[in-house]
Amino acid sequence: MQKQSIQTILQNNKTFHYLTAFTFLMMAGILGISIGTVSVPILDIIRMTFGYVLHISSLKSVDPTNVNIVMNIRLPRVILAGLVGASLAIAGAAFQCLLRNSLADPYTLGVSSGASLGAVLTLFLNLSLPLFGLFTLPVISIFTAFATIFLVLFFAQRMDRTLRVETIILTGVIFSSFLGALISLMIALTGEELRQIIGWLLGSVSMRGWDYIWIILPFFLFGSLLLLLNAKELDVMSFGEEQAKHLGVDVQRKKMLVLVAGSILTGAAVAVSGTIGFVGLVIPHFIRILWGPEHKHLLPLSILIGGGFLILADLVSRTIIAPSELPIGVITALIGAPTFAVILMKRRLERR
């Protein structure tokens, strides 16, 4: 009885949830910075944090080689992985609410493939939009991601007017395969020039640098803010559109906001890291099991846990076969695909 009481208190204690998630993110970040071909002592990382960020410590006691490794290589890589993971996780949570199904995420809906097509087209045609400059790549990725989710929903509705989730997922997989074939065709037509994009499409945050952080950061902040401001409406919509309308929610407008925000987050993430699947599927599902489905907590917790998860996945990808690296998408797929299968089997058993 006492054990159950303690467990209930922990489940209902939101401060504990956020503290746990934030600690997980911080520990993942420290491990991501510390571990590598050259190990950087955690004490040096703490000194650099106080020296560079808080300006209350001297860097004279820190090895200059470690300073260079951390500030120019590992820190931007860890921050970028965290932003990408957070973007995909919160986008997945929003899509799952919109479709009222835990199988939905940017990858299974084809949104990631749509964003990848936009990115590859930008590189293939060497596009540069006036006024956007450095932001041309994420802007086009976001546009193609947005177009893809609308096409998926349009064709799914044509095949099944009730818009069953299985139909939407199947349509997303079909679109993902088709867009993947188009990307492969473009790579084949360009010969050696774009062969490096194959590795990029598998997902990586390697050798990106601080510029890529400034590319994704404004889109991450804007997309996340859009979703966080509509967390209450997402809770209502999770019970069905009719009930949401009766409670005064402008369903069509809110659906559009969710689609826009999810596409912004997915498109920007894909533009800087390539296609990384299953993060938006696994993380929100995991958080619902542990801490419940309330979106005012689910969304920010998805940001924290999703960021930490992808930092650790990147750490595994660059150390498991060191000095070579695996694409980070391989690691997330190895975790996400079995999870997808378990969720699908569980849903089918519940229907019987």
CATH number, position 87: 1.10.3470.10
The first and second tokens of residue 152, run together, are 């998926």
Give buried/exposed letters for 186-209 (b at 16+ CB in 10 A, else e): bbeeeeeebeebeebbbbbbbebe
pLDDT in tens, 213-252: 998 999 999 999 999 999 888 888 877 777 878 878 887 7
Could you give the CA distance from residue 211 to residue 209 in angstroms, rounded to a whole number?
6
**pLDDT over 50 at 335, yes or no:** yes
Q: Is residue 150 part of a domain?
A: yes
Share of the chain above pLDDT 70, in %: 88
**pLDDT over 70 at 184, yes or no:** yes
185 vs 6, higher pLDDT: 185
Q: Is residue 191 part of a domain?
A: yes
**pLDDT over 80 at 57, yes or no:** no
pLDDT at position 81 is 95
**pLDDT over 60 at 2, yes or no:** no
Task: Give the chain's mean pLDDT.
Answer: 83
Evaluate the omega torsion of the peptide bond into residue 130 and state whether it is cis, within 30 degrees of 0: no
How many CB atoms lie under 10 A from the CB of residue 251? 16
**pLDDT over 80 at 61, yes or no:** no
DSSP sequence for 201-265: HT---TT--HHHHHHHHHHHHHHHHHHHHTHHHHHHHTT-HHHHHHTT--HHHHHHHHHHHHHHH
Whole-model pTM: value is 0.86
Q: Is residue 193 part of a domain?
A: yes
Query: Measured between alpha carbons, how far is residue 121 from residues 13, 115, 140 in Å?
Result: 47, 10, 9
Q: Is residue 22 part of a domain?
A: no
Q: Is residue 287 part of a domain?
A: yes
pLDDT in tens, 21-43: 999 999 999 999 999 888 888 88
Could you give the CA distance from residue 226 to residue 249 in angstroms, rounded to a whole number?
16
Q: Is residue 99 part of a domain?
A: yes
Specify which of 96-105, 158-167, 186-195, 226-235 reaches the highest per-range mean pLDDT: 226-235
**pLDDT over 90 at 348, yes or no:** no
Could you give the CA distance from residue 248 to residue 226 in angstroms, rounded to a whole number?
19
Q: Is residue 9 part of a domain?
A: no
Query: Domain limits at 155?
Result: 76-351
pLDDT at position 1 is 44
Query: Measured between alpha carbons, how far is residue 167 from residues 109, 116, 161, 189, 318 in Å?
Result: 11, 23, 10, 33, 37
Could you give the CA distance from residue 204 to residue 314 in angstroms, rounded to a whole number?
8
Could you give the CA distance from residue 119 to residue 192 in angstroms, rounded to a whole number?
18
Residues 6+ apart with CB under 8 A from 185: none
R_g of the chain, CA atoms, integer Å? 21
Specify which of 131-145, 172-186, 222-236, 325-339 reaches the highest per-range mean pLDDT: 222-236
The answer to whether 185 and 119 are in contact (CB under 8 A) is: no
Specify which of 158-167, 213-222, 285-294, 326-335 reaches the highest per-range mean pLDDT: 213-222
For the chain, how many structural domains are there in total?
Answer: 1
Q: Is residue 61 part of a domain?
A: no
